[in-house]
Amino acid sequence: MNLTFQCPSCGGSQYRTSPYDVRESNPHGAVCIFCKSAMQAFAHRPLNATFSGFSPLGQQSLASSQPRC
């Protein structure tokens, strides 16, 4: 899982972390470099190359699925 930080005040995405800024409301200690507000964290799942129900080895090749002349 990936974390993305965004500032709720100015909308910036650049931050610095410090153990001195860790609080219950800011557990990662991330602070905006522009306005010094605590950053909000958003969790994202990385995209996988495989999808449910799709198997690249189970697919027929295009050459074998077309009729031969």
Quote the CA–CA distance of 40 and 26 in Å, as a whole number.
Answer: 8
Q: What is the mean pLDDT of residues 9-24?
A: 93
Whole-model pTM?
A: 0.58
Per-residue pLDDT reduced to its tens digit, 18-56: 999 999 988 999 999 999 999 998 887 777 655 555 555
Higher pLDDT residue, 68 or 36? 36
Write down the H helix ranges in 27-68.
62-65
Quote the CA–CA distance of 30 and 24 in Å, as a whole number.
Answer: 12
